[in-house]
Structure 1
Amino acid sequence: MNQNNQDNAKGWQTKVEGGTVYQGDISNYYYPTQHLHSSTPNNIPSRGVANFVGRDEKLAEVHKKLLQNDSAAILALAGMGGMGKTELATQYAQRYKDNYPGGLCWLDARKPDLAAEIVEFAKFYMKLEVPQTLLTSQEQAKWCWHNWQPQAGLVLVVLDNVDDLTNWKNCRQLLPTNNRFCVLITSRLRNLGLNVTEISLDELSPEKALNLLTALLGEKDRRVQREPETAAKLCKSLGYLPLGLQLVGAYLAEDPNLSLAEILQQLPTQQKSQLEAVFELSWQQLDFMTQCVGGLLSLFAPDIIPWQLVESVSQQLNWAKADVDEARKQLYKRHLIQSVAEGESCYKIHPLIREFLQGKLVGSNTGDDLKKAFAAALVKIAEEIPESLTLEDIKSVQLAIPHLTEVAQNLIDAVEDENLTWVFTGLGKFYQGQGLYTLAAPWYEQGLSTVQTRLGEEHSDVATSLSWLASLYEYQGRYDQAEPLYLQALDLRKRLLGDAHPDVATSLNNLANLYNSQGRYDQAEPLFLQALDLRKRLLGDAHPDVANTLNNLANLYYSQGRYDQAEPLYLQALKIYKQVFGVNHPNTVTVRQNLENARANK
């Protein structure tokens, strides 16, 4: 194990703002030994709609066209919203998964970090250790495609929601080009370019629309047979859209005595308003609590929603769990949400339904409270994201990241001043901890800008934001850019907090680490000594931050070959970490290894 942390850009973890410094190869604690998933990597949603009718020919066409090309196949399912593009892609992946022994990878084009999605999939589902020497996320994504289980056979990649031309251009640069990858995309756009085969997904035929409505009502329901002409008019009025038919079917199933003629009379004659009218019919069926939960769900990003996260927000609102669970059942029953994973309580909302529900929040009495509770729950998650991420850490938080991003991008006004930095540092740490530095940087930069704008230049949280951005530069080996930010943070903290404050000690420790990384030992040592003295006086001799600085100072002596001085410091740090974290914690393990190295070199 190497004795110092000089090469941050190549896998070295130097913990700065939070106070824990690791020394050594990241692989020692980054990847758990157990397999988290089966041998065939697959993150395709395990459930679709129960009544999938009228698209069997399209499924067969998709399969034929994906497999007929000699080069890398890109097939687009194109059509307007409500046509069931995502559902068709889900059904295809489920039915034909045995044809793709190399894996099935589902990606969402709406996310701003497609490269990170690819890298995370490779880490989770194939346990690939992406080289930290690849500094850009694009390089890392391409490396993942190149090193994708070479002997495993065909791979299906689904890229969902390609609905913006600029976004498509960015996404296309990240897609695989090898002919073992079959790429299926869903899009509202047409004519996506050369080498993209397109299947137009239009409305259902009148016959298939009737079949779907019949299936939704159930075998025992005879209303379609009793009112065939009215049923045909109802399907036509809905534009033969699967989404509209599903919602109307659920509405009818709720009231067996409601005739098709009666519901047809409730729909407007203008076709462009009919889908919204169907949404309104479903909305009017909901009780107040279910409407509140529906409004809350519309605040989530257009991504997988773990119900556990919904419950966390509901706790902020003091909602009874039984009421929230009942609301979930009612929303699911009426097709306003869909389940996306067997064995896991995760849901999704169709973008058009999400847009309708968001409209209901405008001007409502509950909108602001829902937004504040939603933001507060996500802030709590951001606070718990560790600086060093194991696969289990990533797994526990990754489903929340799109929703934390939604807070940062669209709901930042709902975040309390004291929590402002956590939104951005949480996102930054999530990507930085995986070596995705180019994805971390914008969040740290946006966090600094947001804090300066809202709280002013002379605020301690500005110093925190400066330190996190500096830490990222240090990880990348951009020492000349890191140093002035660390110095600004130290100066600001001294002016605002005084010389005797724990945050000042943290800044001293950070700056000393930077100098140590550069081999500027004469400048680093007095800063470490100041930080150590300050932390002992303010926090006590047995605090983990004290152990942190002890370990860092020992690393400095080790780098200079002063092993006799390093050993007792490692021993002190090890004792504290054992007491606070236990013998198997990464901090404890790392310091123990550092101690063994020092003894071996004496």
Structure 2
Amino acid sequence: MADLFFSYPRADAERVRPLVEELRRLGLSVWFDEHEIGDSDAITRSIVEGLGQARMLVAWYSRAYTRSRPCQWELTAAYLAAQHEGGDLSRRILVVNPEQGGDHIQPVELRDRLYLEGGTDAVADLAGRIARRLDRAATWIGDIRPLQAPSWLAGQRRIGSNRFVGRVPDLWSVHSGLTAAAVTVITGARPGGDLVQVQGMGGIGKSMLAEEYALRFGAAYPGGIVWLSAARTGAVAADGREAEAEGSAGRHLFQLARSFGLPVQGMEPSAVAAQVGRHLEALGKPYLWIVDDLPSDANAAVLAHWTAPSTNGRTLVTTRGTRLDGCGTIHRLDVLTTEDAFRLLTSRQPPRNEAERTMAAEIVTELGRHALAVDVAGAALRAMSYAEFLKELRNPGADALALMEELAGELPNGHHPGIAVTLLQSIGRLRPEGVLVLQLASLLASDPIPTKYIADVLAEHAGDEAAGRRIALLEIQAAEAEALVDRLGPEEVTVHILTARTMRQHAAASEDLRAAAVRVMNRVMPRAADIREHATLEPLIGHVRTLTESVEDEETAMLLSWLGRYEDERGAYGPAIAVRQRQLDAVRHLYGEEHPNTLVSMGNLASTLWKQGDLAGARVLEEQVLAVRRRVFGEEHPQTLTSMNNVAETLSSQGDLAGARELQEQVLVVRRRVLGEEHPNTQALQIGLDFVTSRAR
């Protein structure tokens, strides 16, 4: 336990150590960690073990403090605890400002309060003033509210990035918008609490900001965090956007409902949303509902399907669009500040002299301080000098100019060539196998990609399992080193949509690679038949949907069939019907109307229609299948008998007991003759006939 938790940037260690020693001489216990803190898990441990067992946080708020990710996390945790406790923030947070002026201090509430000047005061005097501000009767900060990492209710747990820089005012602005007492949401949507839209061009860092906010401010949401991807891969007509949004959001909600153990099998999306909303409302705690990459053409009706389904939810949306300016609080994310862009660029390869510092500043300017481009450039500088990079940046080739045109509107004005050069340069430095990793990503959804799936596809493509897995391991690392791939823990990676677009336009995947991707999915997707295996499939389902957007071959048609089975088994009958209708259309085109595969697809669609309650629709399909099988196979073929029994069951459900009985008696006669009285199929049919007969009496 400690009286004070001393939060300071490591760059100021020598300046603050005498102050800490003086505080201890005055009899105060001080938590003072001199070890470098790296990833988010380490920061969280420091907060729980150190800050949680202290009465007050003392923030040495130099300008370097603004740039220190651990410091900002520590300050945020103390701020949220003090806010939850109520009363004066200064009881829990004391800012010591060693700079001239306080414009660098965030949030502004701390700036507005009187902070202690740390630049000119003598150490003994400053320590005495800090000691007098301490409330020794205060409880430990960790007793006010839990400080541990947030719980993730849905979606992949985000781990943050050590390459996240700056954005301190943006983070506090987002928090203010989400926790405001009242925010008008002009959507006509169901209640969704407060709403903030983070708007900005592609690659500027919207998703990373949302991720950092969830991790840094997670303690404000004891109900948990939901992360949903609204990204769309294909084009959707204007009149189909709302239906597409309902289907996409509905799939996420259905998965969330099942993780909560809610009985939603066969429900329409609106009913599932209501169930999830009631469950979350019953938590009685605020939760954070993040919707990443809402399509730029989304309207208010589309947004309504994505907002949090209960009033205790706070919705944070990232989008490239600006059409929804009347909905909630708008936070427009700009390019990085010059200082932060320079820091990101030089973090891997610091300039060795003033000449390189000048060139680094020029590179930042050429790239328009665009976050993704600066990050990729920083990775590139480990392989080439600042002078070499700057020269190539200023002399774009034909490919870069073409890419510049394609990405116009998504990049900072006047900086398109430099960003295009940077992306193409980094891709060009990869070996052919590394390019394969990015080409595979360009075939898939923008969701996280399991590294095992990448390895399996490359092994399939190479025809050598051991070689494929070795290639995957090495080339994922190579692409990560170029900042073209980001890791989400040891088992998943992500590829930014701009990188994927660049691959599709300038290094498109071969048909062989796509075929390998589909074949590997077809080896995994039979698990869809067993709902107990669905959790293992969930990381792949978004990619299955993308791979089956266009069906031109038998393997893809089979994969689409398995997707229909997945939806059917989990009771999502609306999506299952849509998928199975598409699959039926595809196999009709591939095989013809009377091919056995077409008849199986018709039967699958009829089965799902029957489960949903559309008995008339199911009967039409079943009778069509029966007519073909009678003509092609004959009256006594097993497949014909199965079709007769399917029609009979539907007739029975519709109340046509006489029609059902007639068909079942015909089937029973054949089965008795062919299989015998004691065969299980014969006995099962007899039981069914007896049941229909008893209902008819």
Give the TM-score normalised by structure 1.
0.76
The answer to whether the aligner puts 1:516 opposite 2:652 as a matched pair is: yes
Name the stretch that deviates more: 321-330 or 429-438: 429-438
Q: Is the 8 A contact 1:163 1:188 kept in 2?
A: yes
Q: Is the 8 A contact 2:221 2:286 kept in 1?
A: yes
Q: How far is 1:421 from its partner?
A: 4.1
* Matched residue, 1:597: none
SS in 1 for 2:358: helix
The answer to whether the aligner puts 1:404 opposite 2:537 as a matched pair is: no
CA distance in 1, matches of 2:353, 2:505: 33
Q: How far is 1:267 from its partner?
A: 0.9
Pick the aligned partner of 2:391 from 221, 240, 265: 265
The answer to whether the aligner puts 1:127 opposite 2:261 as a matched pair is: yes
Q: Is the 8 A contact 1:51 1:216 kept in 2?
A: no
In the TM superposition, what whole-angstrom CA distance separates every residue of 1:272-291 from its partner, at most 9, and x where no partner exists?
12222111211221112112
The answer to whether the aligner puts 1:299 opposite 2:443 as a matched pair is: yes
The answer to whether the aligner puts 1:247 opposite 2:393 as a matched pair is: no
C-alpha distance 166-212 of structure 1, shift in aligned 2 (>3 A): closer
Pick the aligned partner of 1:70 from 175, 182, 186: 182
| Unaligned runs of at least 5 residues, structure 1 | 1-37, 563-602
In the TM superposition, what whole-angstrom CA distance separates every residue of 1:57-116 from its partner, at most 9, and x where no partner exists?
211221121111335111011000110101111111112222111121111112552111
Pick the aligned partner of 2:205 from 84, 90, 99: 84
SS in 1 for 2:318: strand
CA distance in 1, matches of 2:361, 2:585: 57
In the TM superposition, what whole-angstrom CA distance separates every residue of 1:491-527 from its partner, at most 9, and x where no partner exists?
2233334445443343233223323333444443564
CA distance in 1, matches of 2:600, 2:614: 19
Pick the aligned partner of 1:238 from 367, 371, 380: 367
CA distance in 2, matches of 1:83, 1:239: 10
Counterpart amino acid of 2:687? A
C-alpha distance 553-250 of structure 1, shift in aligned 2 (>3 A): farther
* Matched residue, 1:99: 220
In the TM superposition, what whole-angstrom CA distance separates every residue of 1:160-202 from its partner, at most 9, and x where no partner exists?
1112324663242352364311000000011414342111111
Mapping for residues 151-300 of structure 1, pairs under 5 Å? 151-166=283-298, 169-176=301-308, 178-217=310-349, 221-223=350-352, 227-253=356-382, 255=383, 258-268=384-394, 271-300=415-444
C-alpha distance 553-248 of structure 1, shift in aligned 2 (>3 A): farther
CA distance in 2, matches of 1:289, 1:409: 26
C-alpha distance 427-177 of structure 1, shift in aligned 2 (>3 A): closer
CA distance in 1, matches of 2:446, 2:168: 27
Name the stretch that deviates more: 519-528 or 427-436: 519-528
C-alpha distance 466-239 of structure 1, shift in aligned 2 (>3 A): same
Mapping for residues 160-559 of structure 1, pairs under 5 Å? 160-166=292-298, 169-176=301-308, 178-217=310-349, 221-223=350-352, 227-253=356-382, 255=383, 258-268=384-394, 271-317=415-461, 318-319=463-464, 320=467, 321-340=469-488, 342=489, 345-362=491-508, 367-386=510-529, 390=531, 392-410=532-550, 412-413=551-552, 415-416=553-554, 419=555, 421-499=557-635, 501-525=637-661, 527-528=663-664, 551=684, 554=687, 557-558=690-691
* Matched residue, 2:95: none
Counterpart amino acid of 1:401? I
Mapping for residues 7-86 of structure 1, pairs under 5 Å? 41-70=153-182, 72-86=193-207
CA distance in 2, matches of 1:499, 1:537: 13
CA distance in 2, matches of 1:185, 1:224: 42
CA distance in 2, matches of 1:371, 1:167: 33
In the TM superposition, what whole-angstrom CA distance separates every residue of 1:231-281 from its partner, at most 9, and x where no partner exists?
11100111101101111111112x3xx321221101146621222211121
Q: Is the 8 A contact 2:151 2:225 kept in 1?
A: no
C-alpha distance 304-486 of structure 1, shift in aligned 2 (>3 A): same
CA distance in 1, matches of 2:377, 2:687: 70
Q: How far is 1:300 from its partner?
A: 1.2
Q: Is the 8 A contact 1:283 1:291 kept in 2?
A: yes
CA distance in 1, matches of 2:560, 2:675: 27
CA distance in 1, matches of 2:676, 2:353: 77
CA distance in 1, matches of 2:576, 2:279: 24
C-alpha distance 530-247 of structure 1, shift in aligned 2 (>3 A): farther
Aligned residues: 501
Q: Is the 8 A contact 2:154 2:228 kept in 1?
A: no
CA distance in 1, matches of 2:299, 2:534: 25
C-alpha distance 243-174 of structure 1, shift in aligned 2 (>3 A): closer
